[in-house]
Structures are given as structure tokens and as C-alpha cells.
């Protein structure tokens, strides 16, 4: 049984679990109340935050008990019919349609054709300046251009996607703004979808309009569901992760010097940063049956918030978990989820981060924090990243 006293005791500490700096509260929960019930209105299904690595992993790996359909309630209103919210065979059939395009082997062609030119054209603007704010100048503009090109929308329209991606993912904070962005995106995309039906090319929209499941083509609504998910999933997550990598490096100048001299360390920077501060902090599930996690009864119909960001700091899984240490030999991370819904874009994200960080270190020599500006801080609850990264470098 969950220890009711622990629950009340941690409540008495007065933590705001939605705080932009939640790690201290999460540490207390991992230790004293690893399945934390949240207050809900009378009559609503219970909601639990699941804090520990191994408990989160066991939920990811039990899709029969823990459904992904909850996503249809939370982000369905703005994204439509999405694979993230599908279970079982329906999920497999739909995921298989796009999985091929995001395999590591299929992405290799994008290295030189798309990803390097995209980051380098952004760096062309920044490199001569000697001083910049890297979120507005680089990170927020880079992954959105890559995913827009892979999907097959015109590159010049990427600022629209950047804005729509931000608006759609703000559904919990500002639902009308998110719904307006979702409608605007559909109005923009439908003519492109119709055009690819008439004239298929080699982009992802063409794959989707010609794809069949059991001999039936996808409806517009399903195609839009893919696009409404892929564009924000590809844009918002990775730009934030890149900001987190840069903050980690800039605030650890000794490690920055090692990585500048030895670029083979970049993958370790990426893996360790995603463990220490992942950009996607929460993944939801709903219980399809009565269950139990860490001794806590989970009634059928409960909502579970799997606290991915807390799993990366779990002291029982990682030594000195709060420290950012690129020499750690840790595995079995959950920052891309695991099981059937494991992130479809994880190879793309790692590729963009590796190529992007390498290019930044090459093109902005002597990169360091701007001594005249505030030190950047990683912040947020549902998504975590720095709002700005002021830097100087040798122009
Ligand atoms: C560092 C960057 C990223 C992080 C931290 C991240 C994180 C995640 C996580 C935790 C999930 C699992 C959700 C669940 O189990 O319900 C997921 C799923 C997904 N991600 Fe990512 N992601 C990243 C980048 C990307 C990129 C670049 C794309 C673009 C293609 C993408 C597309 C998706 C899709 C389509 C799914 C749903 C897969 C399914 O339901 O089968 N992600 N991501």
C-alpha cells in the first residue's frame, strides 16, 4: 500500500509540483511518495505522478494494462487522429507506414543533403557577429526546417510551422490559441496533400497519400493527424534538447574544452544531457484495469503521468544522478520512452543534435557565456529548455 503518511508529509512540505524548477520536489517524491496522487475535482478519475525509473519502464512495457488513448483526450483536440493515441494493431499498422522513413539507415541521406546545409546557413548569419542569443538565432529555427523538408512542405514556410508547433504544444496553457493553430495548419496542409495525390514526389506526404492499410487509403483526417504530430514533435522537442546541451556545455567550460578538441565526445554529451534534463518531461497513460505500482493501487480508469524527467535523476538507477557527467557509462534511459511507442524520431533527433553541435563548435570558435548577460537557465514543467542562451565567440 502507498504510505498515506508519506503522501500527507510531502504535501505538508508545500511543494508546487508544477514549478518551473521541479527537481528538488521530484527528488523528495522519488524517496517518500513515488506514486503521487494529484488533487482532482470530485468525481474525476484519479491522477498519479509516477516518479521512479523502474516503475515508469514497467508501465511503458505493459500496453495491455496501460493505454495510450489518453493522448486523444489531452492533445487529440488539436492534433486529431494520431499514432501517439492508438493502441494495438491499429497503432502498429499506422506506425509502420512512416517508420521506414525515420530508420537510422534511411536518414543517412539527409546528413549532407539537408541537415548540414540547414545548420550552416543559420550559422552563416551568426558567425560574423561575435555575440548572439542562440535560441532565437539558431536552435528554435533549425529542427523545424529539417522536419518541414522531410515532410515535404516548402522551406520558406517554416516560420509558420515554428509558430504553429509552439501554439499547438501550448494546448494546456492556452486551448483557443492551440485550436486556432491546428485549424490554420490543416487549411495550409490540405492543398499540399491534394497536390501530392495528383503528383506524388519522394517526400513523406507523398508516402502518406499513396499508403494503404488492408487495401484502403488513409483519410485526410488521418494524414493530417500524422502531419500535425510530426511537425511539432520534430520541431519543439529537439530544439529544446539542443538548448539544454548548449547550456550544459557552456556552464561546464572544462568539458566544453574537451569536446571542442575531441568531437567524438558529442554523442556522450547528447545522451548525458537527455538523461539529466530531457526536453519532454511527461508521458501519459490511462489504466485499462485495476493495477498496482510500487505497492500503490491504481484503479481502472486512472491517469498516469510518467515523469520521464524524474526517471533520469533516479538515484537508484544512476550514481550521482544530479551531476552532468559525460563520462558516465549509463544505459537503459527512458528519455525517448520505450516499448511500442518509443520515439519514432529518436535517430533523427540524435543526428540533428550531433551535426548541429559539431557545426556550432566549429563555426563559433571560443564559444562561451556572455559575461554581460544572465547565465541561461533550463526551466519549465511539461517541456524543459532555456528561454535564451546569450553567448560570445571569436568572430
Ligand atoms: C530530443 C528530442 C525528442 C524527445 C526527447 C522525444 C521524446 C519522445 C517520447 C518520450 C515519446 C514516447 C511517447 C509515448 O510513449 O507516449 C516520443 C514519441 C514520438 N516521437 Fe519523439 N522525441 C524527440 C524527437 C522527435 C523527433 C525529431 C520526431 C520527428 C519525427 C519525433 C516524433 C515522435 C513520434 C511520431 C512519436 C510517437 C510514436 C508512437 O506513438 O508510436 N520525436 N518522443
Q: 395: closest CA among 129, 124, 122, 121? A: 129
Q: Give the atom of ligand 1 at the shortest distance from the alpha carbon of 98.
A: 35
Sign of the C-alpha dihedral computed for residues 243, 245, 251 and 257 taken in this order: negative
pLDDT of residue 235: 87
For ligand 1, whether the C-beta of 84 sits within 6 Å is yes
Q: Distances from the Cα of 304 to the Cαs of 49, 124, 184, 207, in angstroms?
A: 6, 45, 31, 34
Give Cα 35 distance to the centre of its chain. 23
In the chain, where the domains are located: 4-392
pLDDT of residue 318: 96
Q: Give the atom of ligand 1 at the shortest distance from the alpha carbon of 84.
A: 40
For ligand 1, whether the C-beta of 238 sits within 6 Å is yes
How far apart are the CA of 342 and the centre of ligand 1, in A?
7
For ligand 1, whether the C-beta of 303 sits within 6 Å is no
For ligand 1, whether the C-beta of 335 sits within 6 Å is yes
Q: Give the atom of ligand 1 at the shortest distance from the alpha carbon of 102.
A: 30
For ligand 1, whether the C-beta of 234 sits within 6 Å is yes
Say how many Å lie between the first and final Cα of the chain, rounded.
Answer: 61
How far apart are the CA of 341 and the centre of ligand 1, in A?
8
Neighbouring residues of 198: CB distance < 8 A, sequence distance ≥ 6: none
Burial label for 372, CB within 10 Å (0-12, 13-18, 19+), is: exposed
Which residue has the least CA distance to atom 7 on ligand 1? 336
**Residue 103: which region, alpha, beta or left (left: phi > 0; alpha: psi -120 to 50)?**
beta
| Superfamily of domain covering 4-392 | Cytochrome P450 (1.10.630.10)
How far apart are the CA of 143 and the centre of ligand 1, in A?
14
Q: Give the atom of ligand 1 at the shortest distance from the alpha carbon of 279.
A: 5
Cell of 217: 487509403
Which residue has the least CA distance to atom 23 on ligand 1? 237
For ligand 1, whether the C-beta of 102 sits within 6 Å is yes
For ligand 1, whether the C-beta of 229 sits within 6 Å is yes
pLDDT of residue 20: 86
- CB-side exposure of 279: number of CA atoms within 13 Å? 25
For ligand 1, whether the C-beta of 237 sits within 6 Å is yes
Please state, in angstroms and rounded to a whole number, the distance separating the CA atoms of residues 211 and 230: 17
Give Cα 145 distance to the centre of its chain. 16
Q: 164: closest CA among 150, 185, 135? A: 185
How far apart are the CA of 165 and the centre of ligand 1, in A?
14
pLDDT of residue 1: 44
For ligand 1, whether the C-beta of 95 sits within 6 Å is yes
For ligand 1, whether the C-beta of 280 sits within 6 Å is yes
pLDDT of residue 4: 64
pLDDT of residue 173: 84
Q: Give the atom of ligand 1 at the shortest distance from the alpha carbon of 338.
A: 15
How far apart are the CA of 15 and the centre of ligand 1, in A?
29
For ligand 1, whether the C-beta of 162 sits within 6 Å is no
Cell of 188: 495550409
Cell of 230: 510530426
How far apart are the CA of 377 and the centre of ligand 1, in A?
24
Q: Give the atom of ligand 1 at the shortest distance from the alpha carbon of 280.
A: 5
pLDDT of residue 18: 72
Cell of 229: 504530430
Per-residue pLDDT of the chain in tens (395 residues, 90 and over written 9):
456 667 777 777 777 777 888 999 999 999 999 999 999 999 999 999 999 999 999 999 999 999 999 999 888 888 888 999 999 999 999 999 888 888 888 888 899 999 999 999 999 999 999 999 999 999 999 999 999 999 888 888 888 888 888 888 888 888 899 999 999 999 999 999 999 999 999 888 998 998 888 888 889 988 998 898 988 888 889 999 999 999 999 999 999 999 999 999 999 999 999 999 999 999 999 999 999 999 999 999 999 999 999 999 999 999 999 999 999 987 899 999 999 999 999 999 999 999 999 999 999 999 999 999 999 999 998 889 999 999 999 98
Whole-model pTM: value is: 0.94
How far apart are the CA of 351 and the centre of ligand 1, in A?
14
Q: Give the atom of ligand 1 at the shortest distance from the alpha carbon of 235.
A: 27
Residues linked to residue 237 through DSSP beta bridges, in sequence order: none
Please state, in angstroms and rounded to a whole number, the distance separating the CA atoms of residues 270 and 350: 7
Q: Give the atom of ligand 1 at the shortest distance from the alpha carbon of 85.
A: 40
CA angle 281, 385, 234 (to 5 degrees): 70
For ligand 1, whether the C-beta of 284 sits within 6 Å is no
CB 276 within 8 A of CB 326: no
Amino acid at each position: 500500500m502507498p504510505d498515506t503518511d508519506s503522501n500527507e508529509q510531502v504535501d505538508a512540505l508545500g511543494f508546487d509540483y508544477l514549478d518551473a524548477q521541479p527537481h528538488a520536489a521530484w527528488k523528495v517524491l522519488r524517496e517518500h511518495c513515488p506514486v503521487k496522487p494529484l488533487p482532482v475535482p470530485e468525481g474525476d478519475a484519479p491522477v498519479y505522478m509516477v516518479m521512479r525509473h523502474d516503475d515508469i519502464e514497467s508501465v511503458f512495457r505493459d500496453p495491455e494494462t496501460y493505454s495510450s488513448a489518453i493522448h486523444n483526450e489531452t492533445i487529440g483536440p488539436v492534433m486529431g487522429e494520431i499514432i501517439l493515441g492508438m493502441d494495438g494493431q491499429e497503432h502498429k499498422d499506422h506506425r509502420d507506414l512512416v517508420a521506414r522513413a525515420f530508420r537510422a539507415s534511411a536518414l543517412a541521406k539527409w546528413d549532407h543533403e539537408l541537415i548540414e546545409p540547414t545548420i550552416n546557413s543559420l550559422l552563416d548569419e551568426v558567425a560574423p557577429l561575435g555575440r548572439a542569443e542562440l535560441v532565437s538565432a539558431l536552435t528554435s529555427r533549425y529542427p523545424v526546417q529539417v522536419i518541414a523538408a522531410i515532410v515535404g512542405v516548402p522551406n520558406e514556410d517554416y516560420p509558420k510551422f515554428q509558430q504553429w508547433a509552439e501554439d499547438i504544444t501550448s494546448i494546456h496553457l492556452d486551448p483557443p490559441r492551440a485550436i486556432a493553430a491546428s485549424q490554420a495548419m490543416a487549411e495550409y496542409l490540405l492543398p499540399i496533400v491534394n497536390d501530392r495525390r495528383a503528383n506524388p514526389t519522394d517526400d513523406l506526404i507523398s508516402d502518406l497519400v499513396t499508403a494503404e492499410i488492408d487495401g484502403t487509403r488513409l483519410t485526410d483526417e488521418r494524414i493530417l493527424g500524422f502531419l500535425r504530430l510530426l511537425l511539432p514533435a520534430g520541431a519543439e522537442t529537439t530544439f529544446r534538447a539542443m538548448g539544454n546541451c548548449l547550456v550544459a556545455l557552456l556552464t561546464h567550460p572544462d568539458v566544453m574544452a574537451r569536446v571542442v578538441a575531441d568531437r567524438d565526445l558529442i554523442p556522450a554529451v547528447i545522451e548525458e544531457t537527455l538523461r539529466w534534463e530531457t526536453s519532454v518531461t511527461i508521458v501519459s497513460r490511462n489504466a485499462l484495469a485495476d493495477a498496482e505500482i510500487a505497492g500503490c493501487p491504481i484503479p481502472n480508469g486512472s491517469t498516469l503521468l510518467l515523469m520521464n524527467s524524474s526517471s533520469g535523476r533516479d538515484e537508484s538507477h544512476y550514481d550521482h544522478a544530479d551531476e552532468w557527467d559525460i563520462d558516465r557509462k549509463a544505459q537503459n534511459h527512458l528519455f525517448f520512452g520505450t516499448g511500442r511507442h518509443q520515439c519514432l524520431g529518436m535517430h533523427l533527433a540524435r543526428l540533428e543534435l550531433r551535426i548541429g553541435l559539431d557545426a556550432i563548435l566549429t563555426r563559433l570558435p571560443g564559444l562561451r557565456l556572455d559575461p554581460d548577460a544572465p547565465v541561461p537557465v533550463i526551466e519549465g514543467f511539461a517541456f524543459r529548455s532555456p528561454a535564451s542562451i546569450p553567448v560570445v565567440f571569436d568572430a
